[in-house]
Structure 1
Amino acid sequence: MLLQHAEPATGNVSNARSEVPVYAWVVFTLTVGLLLSDYMSRQVLNAVFPMLKATWSLSDARLGSLSSIVALMVGVLTLPLSVLADRWGRVKSIALMASMWSIATLGCAVSASYGQMLLARAFVGIGEAAYGSVGVAVVLSIFPARLRATLVAAFMAGGALGSVMGMALGGAVATQLGWRWSFGAMACFGMVLVVIYVLVVTEKRLMPLSVASGGQETGVRERMRVGALLKRLLSTKSVACAYVGSGIHLFVPAALWAWMPSFLNRYYGMVVGSAAAGAAVLVLVTGLGMVVCGNLTDRISKDASGRKWNCAIVYCAIAFALLMVGFQMPHGTLQLVLIGGGMFFSAGATGPSGAMVANLTPPSICASAFATLTLVNNMLGLAPAAFVTGVLADRIGLLGALQVVPFAALIALVVFAVGKRHYQGDLERVKVLREQASA
């Protein structure tokens, strides 16, 4: 079987280019806007965990499964749907995906049981499955390569901001109108954004930007067999470590995003609205950390790309230390400050790992490479985080479970250290292969 992949133009781009067309920023804004809707639809659930627990008498494991099922669907389907998006057209695929997750979120609002809610949440995940990889491929295709880590981090930080909005607005709406209206509000927001995106963004308008950025047109395709594609996606030890390290380190923020509203509700006595708002602030801190860490990584590694690995290692170490100490502290302001500090760095390796994947894979398979990254991020981090933490919470309490979570950052640190050891040699091999391919 043959697969087709669009050329997203992330490879041979002049670092000297200083100006970016205004329309590129418009596309970036709208694409991130849909990412906000994506995560608002995904994370509004966490804001109403206490209400759902009371309504259907659910265990923490079942609550966690409602969150994890979305990431599980994303992990399972991201690669095949990303390949289809490359073939069918990224803009049309984005519009279809956003429509699906918005309609599925509306389905959550009318669910009458845990089973119906679980099914609706699964369709939310199906709709969101390829959005991360396809959306970031669209963005990277129209910007200079020198902005990679910043763009990847900013794009992913949109997920954190969407989580903030989903938690804060969802909690506020639920307090006033009930949890069903929280899902309904997120669904309406997504549908409005889909209409705007379809009216403003087209493949035809993106094509000149891709060419101007130094790459090939989005309509140009490269055909290769499945085996060859997989071989190029996993061509080196260092790119495998970038995938795995990124996935494992995201277990930490995913678990904290899912359970912080419940943590504040149970241990600080906050009502649902206040707990959701407080958790939203901490999630916002995570998003801010993504952007700051991504930009800092670009600056530090400007003249030495290998420093990206050092940055990822340091971010994981700081997150582990602060969260370990924070969750051991007595409840109070100091505990929340330390937890907030740990959350700032908990997703800090997102930008560096994304940039390393881009550096170690050919530009012709950028969408598939980021689909692979998305798959690993979900299967190792985002999908199991809420469920595993919920299972632990049923056995040792939510606080005890959250005290275990930071060890994922320590494991990711080790994986990044292994990748750093092989990076320079792998980078040279990839460079030779690219030169041979272009000869």
Structure 2
Amino acid sequence: MAGVVPAPPGAPAARPGVAAWLVLAVLCFVYVLNFLDRQLLSILAKPIQDELGISDGQLGRIGGLYFAMFYCILAIPVGWLADRANRVRVLAFACALWSAATAACGLAANYPQLVLARMTVGVGEAGGVPPSYAIISDYFPSGTRGTALGLFNLGPPIGQALGVAFGASIAAAYSWRLAFVWVGVIGMVTAVGVWAFVREPKKGGLDQPADSGDAAAALEPRPGLGQTCRAFFANPVLRGMALACGATQFVTYGMINFTVLLLMREKGMSLEDVALWYALVIGLGTMSGMVLSGRLIDRLARRSRTAYAYLPAVGLMLALPLFVAFVWVDSWRLALLFLLLPTGLNYFYLSPAVTLVQEDVRPNQRVLSGALLLLVMNLIGLGLGPTWLGAASDFFRASHPHNSLQMAFYTLIPFYVLAIALFLWLARSIRRQALQEANP
């Protein structure tokens, strides 16, 4: 899977123009809405459970497996289409669809209706992130993409923080249903703005082919779906990165979907406190992690490509003991203090992963390759993480009726260890690939 020439070590990166930064800001806002829509369910879990009478296991499936089945699998044909079509229009249509489905969540009268609405949100969000990755990579030259993608990846923490603050405030003052409807309407208006004002960039316009062979390849017909999939999964580095990120997301998505419920039900936090203090922790912690990891990977990867693996591994090693302390303490105030650093360190994987994939594939394979990365990451992490944690909480309910979620959170510790091991294994694969390229 031929890529492009990255900036040589020590070379200054080309400076993107004002238009690139404006487009990045718009796409980041769309990503904020993407994640805000996705996280409203977990933020408003307790009032939804109280009204609709659903269990932790049902909540885990609707936020995990049911959502991921559509979100992950449909990302592949959407990515294939976007590599051949106008990526901006694909993104705008997807934003309109998931926003309308989010509004429909607020109208659900029972669990099956809520499941159907959440599945439709997954269908729409399948067309959100992969086209955005590719658009950004064609607005920002190599050497600046890590920073740009790191800033773009502020979407999840901002979306989660706004979701906590906005969703919890609206639910406390009015109703959880109104929060879904308002967010959906904002998203549909944003979709119209993306369609009208964001210009489609030239695919690969800022890349230089690695050699004359790649230059000739740029003139060949676009690679098919099967060809790109085979090339992605045959590459041990890309395959290893996807698996390591999947193990990491098993932890992060499990936490995202149940932390608010843990804080409220077992640590005594109120919905008003969630709207203020948990929103601050999520916003400050995760945003700092996203920005810092993007800046670090742009600098460290110029010295050695193993930084793509070692940076996430170190972040997870530092996060693990703090995560255990967060789960163990009874006070929600102490819990939030211990949670602050892990919310950033847990996301040290995302900017390195996206940057590595976008750098290692051809420009006309970027959307689909990004979708393949998300397929593996999200099927494992989003699909199984919340599902596992909800089922574990139901399992512990009989023996630990007052702290079943706390016991379930402890079961995430082995997955932390697994993710660290996979990133260390990935570093070996990167070194091995570099030696093979140096000595063909």
TM-score of the aligned structures, taking structure 1 as reference length: 0.89
User: In structure 2, what is the equivalent of residue 402 of structure 1?
Assistant: 409
1:304 aligns with 2:301: no
What's the C-alpha RMSD, in Å, of the aligned pairs? 2.5
Q: CA shift at 1:43, angstroms? A: 0.8
Q: Distance in 2 between matches of 1:238 and 1:214?
A: 22
Q: Distance in 2 between matches of 1:84 and 1:236?
A: 23
User: Does the CA-based 8 Å contact 2:28-2:154 persist in structure 1?
Assistant: no
Q: CA shift at 1:243, angstroms? A: 0.8
Match of 2:95 among 95, 98, 121: 98
User: In structure 1, what is the equivalent of residue 192 of structure 2?
Assistant: 195
User: In structure 2, what is the equivalent of residue 249 of structure 1?
Assistant: 248
Q: Distance in 2 between matches of 1:388 and 1:329?
A: 22
Deviates more, 1:83-92 or 1:150-159: 150-159
Q: Distance in 2 between matches of 1:384 and 1:374?
A: 14
1:49 aligns with 2:45: yes
Return the letter of the residue paired with 2:415: A
User: In structure 1, what is the equivalent of residue 259 of structure 2?
Assistant: 260
User: Does the CA-based 8 Å contact 1:306-1:423 persist in structure 2?
Assistant: yes
Q: Residues 405, 90 of structure 1: CA spacing in aligned structure 2 closer, same or farther, 3 A cutoff?
A: same
Match of 2:183 among 174, 181, 186: 186
Return the letter of the residue paired with 1:248: A
> After the TM superposition, which residues 275-424 of structure 1 pair with which residues of structure 2 at under 5 Å, given as runs?
275-284=274-283, 285-396=285-396, 397-424=404-431
Q: Distance in 2 between matches of 1:278 and 1:222?
A: 53
User: In structure 2, what is the equivalent of residue 21 of structure 1?
Assistant: 17
Q: CA shift at 1:225, angstroms? A: 4.0
User: Does the CA-based 8 Å contact 2:268-2:331 persist in structure 1?
Assistant: no
Q: Distance in 2 between matches of 1:151 and 1:405?
A: 31
Q: Secondary structure at the match of 2:222?
A: strand
Q: Residues 401, 287 of structure 1: CA spacing in aligned structure 2 closer, same or farther, 3 A cutoff?
A: farther
Which consecutive aligned stretches of 4+ in structure 1 deviate over 6 angstroms post-superposition? 430-433
Q: Residues 114, 66 of structure 1: CA spacing in aligned structure 2 closer, same or farther, 3 A cutoff?
A: same
User: Does the CA-based 8 Å contact 1:321-1:342 persist in structure 2?
Assistant: no
Match of 1:144 among 135, 141, 145: 141
Q: CA shift at 1:428, angstroms? A: 5.6
Return the letter of the residue paired with 1:126: V
Q: Residues 86, 431 of structure 1: CA spacing in aligned structure 2 closer, same or farther, 3 A cutoff?
A: farther
Q: Secondary structure at the match of 1:145?
A: coil
Q: Distance in 2 between matches of 1:267 and 1:90?
A: 45
Q: How many residues align?
A: 421
Q: CA shift at 1:170, angstroms? A: 0.8
Q: Distance in 1 between matches of 2:219 and 2:85?
A: 12
Q: Distance in 2 between matches of 1:392 and 1:384?
A: 12
User: Does the CA-based 8 Å contact 1:247-1:378 persist in structure 2?
Assistant: yes
User: In structure 1, what is the equivalent of residue 234 of structure 2?
Assistant: 235
User: In structure 2, what is the equivalent of residue 37 of structure 1?
Assistant: 33
Q: Distance in 1 between matches of 2:331 and 2:28?
A: 36
User: In structure 1, what is the equivalent of residue 212 of structure 2?
Assistant: none
User: In structure 2, what is the equivalent of residue 272 of structure 1?
Assistant: 271
More helix by share: 1
Q: CA shift at 1:344, angstroms? A: 1.9
TM-score of the aligned structures, taking structure 2 as reference length: 0.89
Where in structure 1 are there 5+ consecutive unaligned residues? 1-6, 434-439
Where in structure 2 are there 5+ consecutive unaligned residues? 210-214, 397-403
Return the letter of the residue paired with 1:400: M
Percent identity of paired positions between Structure 1 and Structure 2: 24
Q: Distance in 2 between matches of 1:269 and 1:129?
A: 36
Q: Residues 28, 387 of structure 1: CA spacing in aligned structure 2 closer, same or farther, 3 A cutoff?
A: same
Q: Distance in 1 between matches of 2:219 and 2:175?
A: 49
Q: Residues 329, 259 of structure 1: CA spacing in aligned structure 2 closer, same or farther, 3 A cutoff?
A: same
Q: Distance in 2 between matches of 1:158 and 1:273?
A: 23
Q: CA shift at 1:337, angstroms? A: 1.6
Q: Distance in 1 between matches of 2:119 and 2:188?
A: 19
Q: Residues 212, 59 of structure 1: CA spacing in aligned structure 2 closer, same or farther, 3 A cutoff?
A: closer
Q: Distance in 1 between matches of 2:130 and 2:16?
A: 22
Q: Secondary structure at the match of 1:232?
A: helix
Q: CA shift at 1:118, angstroms? A: 0.6
1:11 aligns with 2:8: no
Q: CA shift at 1:226, angstroms? A: 4.1
Q: Residues 263, 426 of structure 1: CA spacing in aligned structure 2 closer, same or farther, 3 A cutoff?
A: same
User: Does the CA-based 8 Å contact 1:263-1:398 persist in structure 2?
Assistant: yes
